[in-house]
Each structure stands twice: as structure tokens, then as C-alpha cells.
């Protein structure tokens, strides 16, 4: 199939493009490179060539999902079979400061994309959602039946809004086949060390922050809160390897060929790890000591969050393969080989 991947040069997008190309699909990437690098695409091609794919069938379009004319052109010039929609602004703190930017780009941009899809007769879609839609959970682990709650920030709210729009769209027209994938905490990098997470600014996520401390770009890590009701007092999250996550999109793509309507799947390992466990695993992988200090809890942070991944296992035949140590090893390989990300 020819798959349109919006945000295909980003962290999760680039890893998914690799898996799509290496599985025999044709890929059209739409990205405006506002939070990604064209070099990621060059590296994707290199990985595919190293894997024996001499000329990966890849088209790259520089454009924004808010640009109606550009989308119309993409659909008219490429025979698109399905869309994987990653493009969006994603920094939680920034979303609190600039809510209108987030609603314009994430919600309005998504509507523009869905309209272009409908006009072109493309009704197969995978949407990159988030476990943030569950808010502060009453019970763990989280399943797809767990209630979604009012998210604590505009980023999470934009994801929940788009999910609602897609559910309404699927109810209005049986032609739509939609997967809503709620990710837990993607980390790691491609085992080749060629592509990985490259934050524009100071990282807001734990693992890229740790890895920048390890190479000396940042002085020390702040651990926000050590008084949570968890075994070591630090927050617990369900970390999954970005390659496992990318493969989940291929499984969802297979599933929506026959599953009509809007289907929700959680993607996570089913196991939670605390901040201190992640630090220890990274120190083991890198041989570096990670200096850290305990700081007060951050507003909006929750104590624990992990999923029950059994629905994805049963319905998508998807399970994770990488453990926490491997996630940290691959993160370190990427960071060590690319101390300045894609800018070196």
C-alpha cells in the first residue's frame, strides 16, 4: 500500500516509516520540519539500504496539515491507500503557555486532514493518540474500557478532542476504518543508532534528559517528587521501545483493513518503571553516573500509569520485544553517536 505519514520525520514517525518501507509498503511523508530534521529522512533511507532495500519507495513533501491546498495536492498526486497521522505539537508545558497554537495546529489541522481524506475517498486512518486521555487514573492497569478524563493540559485535551471527532466521523459514515492508538511512554532509538529522539530545546521527557546529562550537555537531572505512593517514592510510567511502538502501527494497519468504525488500542508493555529504576538502567547501559536532585512535584503529574496490553495482543497480535535495559542501551547508542542530535 501507499501510506501517507504526517509528521513522518519526527521521533515516532521516522521509526514507523522504517518499518513500513522494510515491510514492502510505499510511503509518502508530509512534514513541515518544525520539530524534526530532514536528516532523519536521509537516515531512514540509509537504514533501509543497509537492510537490502536499494531504492526505498519514499516521497517527501514539505508541508503543514493546516494547508488545505497542499493536502489536496498530496492526495491528487499520490495514490494514497491509508494515513498514519503523527503531525502535531507535543510539548505539555508549551501547550499550557500557548493553548491557541495547540488547538489550531492539532485540532484544526487534523480536521483539515480528515476533510482532504474524505474528499479523496481515503478512509483508512491510524491516529497517534496518548495515554494522557486517561488523566489521573482511579485504577491500574489502564485498559481501553478505563474512562477517559478531563486531561490536565491543552496537549492532552487536543488528543481527546481529535479522538471524539474521529469517533463521530466513524458513526456518521461506515466507510471509515480508524485506529486510535493510545501510547504510553515511548523511549529508545533504532538499534542502528542512526535515528532517535532529538528534542529541539531542553528535553521535557525523562529519558532524553537523562541521556543529555550522560554526555555532559546538561548538568544534572531533577527528579520531580520522591513522595508519591510508589515503592521508591518516584513516579511510575509504562516505558516502551519506539521500535515496538512503530511495529504496532503496522499491526493496526492490517487490523483496520477489516475492522470498520473507530477502534481503540493501548500500546504499552504492561509494566511500570519508576524514575529511579530508569536512572539505574541508564547508568548500567552507559557506564556513566547520572547526578540528580530531588525537586518538588510538578503540577499535573500523576503518581503511576501503566496499561493492560492484552487487547492489542488479542486483536492486533502485537506484543513488545524490548525490555528496559535494551531501551536504555539503544538510547545511549543514539545519544553517544549523535551528541548534537541531527545537527552534528
103 is catalytic: no
Could you tell me the residue ranges of all domains in the chain? Answer: 2-343
pLDDT of amino acid 145: 97
**pLDDT digits 0-9 by tens, 330-341:** 999 999 999 999
- Model confidence at 344: pLDDT above 70: no
pLDDT of amino acid 304: 96
Cβ contacts of 191 within 8 Å, gap of 6 or more = 243, 330, 333
pLDDT of amino acid 301: 86
Domain boundaries 2-343, corresponding CATH code: 3.40.50.720
The active-site residue, picked from 155, 183, 209, 228, is: 155
**pLDDT digits 0-9 by tens, 119-174:** 999 999 999 999 999 988 999 999 999 999 988 889 999 999 999 999 999 999 99
**pLDDT digits 0-9 by tens, 39-58:** 999 999 999 999 999 999 99
**pLDDT digits 0-9 by tens, 98-108:** 999 999 999 99
**pLDDT digits 0-9 by tens, 13-44:** 999 999 999 999 999 999 999 999 999 999 99
- Model confidence at 300: pLDDT above 80: no
What is the rounded distance in angstroms from the CA atom of residue 313 to the CA atom of residue 301? 28
Cβ contacts of 62 within 8 Å, gap of 6 or more = 31, 32, 33
Evaluate the omega torsion of the peptide bond into residue 141 and state whether it is cis, within 30 degrees of 0. yes
**pLDDT digits 0-9 by tens, 262-299:** 999 999 999 999 999 999 999 999 999 999 999 999 88
- The region, left, alpha or beta by phi > 0 then psi within -120 to 50, assigned to residue 225 is left
pLDDT of amino acid 200: 84
**pLDDT digits 0-9 by tens, 248-266:** 999 999 999 999 999 999 9
pLDDT grade, residue 91 (50/70/90)?
Answer: confident
- Model confidence at 305: pLDDT above 90: yes
Residues 218-245, mean pLDDT to the nearest whole number: 98
- Model confidence at 204: pLDDT above 90: no
Torsion, Cα of 119, 56, 64, 43 (10° steps): 160
Residues 207-222, mean pLDDT to the nearest whole number: 97
Amino acid at each position: 500500500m501507499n501510506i501517507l505519514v504526517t509528521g513522518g520525520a519526527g521521533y515516532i514517525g521516522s521509526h514507523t516509516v522504517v518499518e513500513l518501507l522494510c515491510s514492502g509498503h510505499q510511503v509518502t511523508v508530509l512534514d513541515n520540519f518544525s520539530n524534526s530534521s530532514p536528516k532523519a529522512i536521509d537516515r531512514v533511507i540509509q537504514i533501509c539500504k543497509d537492510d537490502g532495500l536499494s531504492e526505498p519507495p519514499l516521497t517527501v513533501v514539505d508541508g503543514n496539515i493546516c494547508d488545505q491546498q497542499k493536502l489536496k495536492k498530496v492526495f491528487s498526486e499520490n495514490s494514497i491507500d491509508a494515513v498514519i497521522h503523527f503531525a502535531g505539537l507535543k510539548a505539555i508545558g508549551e501547550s499550557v503557555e500557548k493553548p491557541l497554537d495547540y488547538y489550531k495546529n492539532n485540532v484544526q489541522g487534523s480536521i483539515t486532514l480528515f476533510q482532504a481524506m474524505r474528499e479523496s475517498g481515503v478512509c483508512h486512518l491510524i491516529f497517534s493518540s496518548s495515554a494522557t486521555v486517561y488523566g489521573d487514573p482511579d485504577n491500574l492497569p489502564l485498559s481501553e474500557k478505563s474512562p477517559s478524563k478531563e486531561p490536565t493540559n491543552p496537549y492532552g485535551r487536543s488528543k481527546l478532542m481529535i479522538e471524539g471527532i474521529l469517533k463521530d466521523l466513524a458513526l456518521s459514515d461506515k466507510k471509515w476504518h480508524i485506529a486510535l492508538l493510545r501510547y504510553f511512554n515511548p523511549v529508545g532509538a533504532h538499534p542502528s543508532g542512526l535515528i532517535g529522539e532529538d528534542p529541539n530545546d531542553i528535553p521535557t521527557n525523562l529519558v532524553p534528559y537523562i541521556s543529555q546529562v550522560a554526555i555532559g550537555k546538561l548538568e544534572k537531572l531533577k527528579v520531580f517528587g520522591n513522595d508519591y505512593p510508589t515503592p521508591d517514592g518516584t513516579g511510575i510510567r509504562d516505558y516502551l521501545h519506539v521500535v515496538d511502538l512503530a511495529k504496532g502501527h503496522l499491526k493496526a494497519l492490517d487490523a483496520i483493513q477489516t475492522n470498520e468504525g473507530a477502534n481503540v488500542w493501548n500500546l504499552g508493555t504492561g509494566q511500570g518503571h519508576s524514575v529511579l529504576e530508569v536512572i539505574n538502567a541508564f547508568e548500567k547501559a552507559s557506564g556513566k553516573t547520572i547526578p540528580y536532585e530531588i525537586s518538588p512535584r510538578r503540577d499535573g503529574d500523576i503518581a503511576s500509569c501503566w496499561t493492560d496490553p492484552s487487547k492489542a495482543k488479542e486483536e492486533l497480535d502485537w506484543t513488545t520485544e524490548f525490555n528496559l535495559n535494551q531501551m536504555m542501551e539503544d538510547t545511549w547508542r543514539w545519544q553517544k553517536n549523535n551528541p548534537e542530535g541531527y545537527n552534528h
